[in-house]
Chains A and B, each alone.
Chain A
């Protein structure tokens, strides 16, 4: 991991000139007084706290709330780069939906020998309850977040697909709002494509998948695990912006074949439920019987066309890290095209040869748990201690099928504003995709997560990462 070789999205590789998308920003920044910017940065933090844009940290004693640090330097992507990215994203999301339909119906991809059957059969993310179920409008993943990383001017890789309940979109919207308030002059110099349409499009996209039982205008609601959930702010933000109710499991009950919410005037049926509760907790009668967060019997209502659940139960099979390694085959199988976006090369440790290679090269690789998320349970070889590596070595030997490994990519950097001026930090990008029966919408922008520690590759907010506003600029 030689920092000299990282691609910086503002300054290119070492010795390159300033990259064009950053021209206007760079001359604006040079003219700024650093102490004024520091003041603005503090203002932004205070605004986030006041608004309550915080996340709850699990595992800490007093369920503390933290801010996700916001960096005022925007991450800028040219219109040309974005066009290519969004074509690739759309292709991938189409393939994911086709894959989900296939895997819960005829399983042609397995019959064709392109995906081993054991990848499905022994996979906890595959829900047998969904076999033969056709979701309203044929949409499985109404909301998708595709995590991208970059290693050079034209090298983008998909690091991860988030097909269950991707979070972070409220930061995309609030970060832009904050930048507009703090630096309006920047937006008059540069044409930045707006993101503010997202809630309206989400609302339309959800309503477009209303179930057969809907009577009149579809009633949409957001299902949250409650105020102590780490992403609660986002749940209430989205419900608020869409003008729909924010419900918890105990607000809901199955009545006459519908899922209904308890209002001050009695129970009212819900047509589309945007759930931010994992599959396992969705329905204690059909999944985890101990769940307090779900609705007993909701899956049966769903199967009979009484409600649309977004995303559909069982979509996790498409973003499973072991399935990830087959994504190039999946894209090709369902679209008949070569994938536009590359996968990161991935060793499946369930394969003995791969395992042997991974064990020999642990210090150079990133090892991830197949079902892990949030940056937990992973090993970053180049920065890990000898002890950590040995711990992972024994974990790998014990349950190889539980892990995948990837080369340590030299992630691109974008400058952040520090006391000492601009300093490069590694970033990733999560664009948000909305799927309707007849169209796919990708909001121009996304969530840029940035590792605030020098040299660090971990961008997760739960581990000290921050966020940036992401600009797609007109060329």
Chain B
């Protein structure tokens, strides 16, 4: 398999994951605005930040974004390389590049995803259409994932695709925690105010995890449990520990099939160590923010090492 193809698969699935995450963030933001008596556009700054769309926004705009501006920027901002439209476009370009490695089903799913979303985002989305458009994006990304699961051989092609998905997902969850960590600190509130409750719900909703959390921890979210759930809980498919495990096992498959142990394997082991040997108390004691920052750096390093070890670019 060409190094370029491995890279194309990795990025195609990273971008699809990022698209889904961005749609989740917008939806969570909409909800928080609706549940509040006074709308606070300041929330959108942190949502833009979580979606890695804030710096680009600031380069062009001097004012803080209103809700409408923030949503339009994240969905289809012409000068925003991290807009949903541009992410899906890039995912599909990568799909084109790796066309011969993926099945017809996967290709058609990603191609149709692009066609459908391009047309849904051709004009500014009206407020009443937003929930439907966001659903469409999540649904189309799910189709691609479903086609991957249902039709692809479990070989190196599949493993590079999955590594892309989980690298991006770990990064997205960590970034969300990085922006919101202060809400989860024990010192912030001894007893959750109603505002905190909304904020906590918002974090869970941003990773489509409200139902899962409630099933596991009950009705009343508490910050320590949310942190536990999103960082260490291996039942939770967007937790850092879950994603780390997956990356490790996909890399292990490559190690076996290529009969090559590479530096990225050791780095992934080290990444897993961070979540496997610590309790949530350890993490809070040593500093939640430092932990998240450290994790973000490590996941980025693993990704870069994978690019080098499997010769994506040279």
Contact = CB atoms under 8 A, between A and B. Distances in A.
B314 A239 contact: no
21 contacts: A50-B108, A51-B104, A51-B111, A52-B96, A52-B99, A52-B107, A52-B111, A227-B93, A227-B96, A236-B96, A246-B99, A247-B4, A261-B2, A262-B2, A262-B3, A262-B311, A263-B3, A264-B1, A264-B6, A264-B258, A265-B258
A264 B310 contact: yes
B100 interface: yes
Interface in B64-89: none
Nearest to B311: A262
A251 B100 contact: no
A239 B5 CA distance: 13
B97 interface: yes
Interface string A20-61: 000000000000000000000000000001111000000000
A315 to B, nearest CB: 26
How many B residues are at the interface, by size bracket? Answer: 20 to 34
Given A227-B96, A261-B2, 8 more contacts: A51-B108, A52-B111, A236-B100, A240-B99, A246-B100, A247-B2, A248-B4, A250-B4
Interface string B98-127: 011000100110011001000000000000
Given A246-B100, A264-B156, A264-B258, A50 B111 contact: yes
A264 B100 contact: no
Contacts of B179: none
Contacts of A251: 2-4
B270 interface: no
Contacts of A245: 2, 5, 100
B153 interface: no
Contacts of A227: 93, 96-97
Interface string B123-160: 00000000000000000000000000000000010000
A50 B108 CA distance: 6
Contacts of A248: 4
At the interface, is chain A mostly helix, strand, loop or mixed? mixed
A240 B258 CA distance: 23
Contacts, number: 56
Contact of B100 (A240, A263, A265): A240
A232 to B, nearest CB: 7
Nearest to A236: B99
Nearest to B310: A264
B188 interface: no
Nearest to A262: B3
A264 B312 CA distance: 7
B39 interface: no
A262 B310 CA distance: 9
A264 B93 CA distance: 20
Given A50-B112, A52-B107, A52-B111, A262 B96 contact: no
A263 B309 CA distance: 11
Given A232-B96, A236-B96, A236-B100, A263 B2 contact: yes
At the interface, is chain B mostly helix, strand, loop or mixed? helix
B100 A239 contact: yes
B309 to A, nearest CB: 9
Contacts of A240: 99-100
Contacts of B97: 226-227
A246 B4 CA distance: 10
B111 A262 contact: no
A51 to B, nearest CB: 7
Contacts of A52: 96, 99, 107, 111
Nearest to A244: B100
A235 to B, nearest CB: 10
Interface in A85-137: none
B311 A264 contact: yes
Interface in A408-457: none
B308 to A, nearest CB: 11
Interface string A250-263: 11000000000111
Nearest to A265: B258
Contact of A263 (B99, B104, B115, B311): B311
User: Which are the 7 A-B pairs with shortest beta-carbon distances?
Assistant: A240-B100, A264-B310, A236-B99, A227-B96, A262-B3, A264-B6, A239-B100
Nearest to A51: B108
Contacts of A49: 115
B2 A264 contact: yes
Contacts of B260: 265
Interface string B1-23: 11111100000000000000000
Contacts of A246: 99-100
Contacts of B108: 50-51
A265 B100 CA distance: 19
- Residue among A49, A52, A246 with max Cβ neighbours from chain B (10 Å): A52
A239 B102 CA distance: 13
A51 B2 CA distance: 23
A424 to B, nearest CB: 34
Contacts of B258: 264-265
Interface in A132-148: none
A246 B99 CA distance: 9
Contacts of B100: 236, 239-240, 245-246
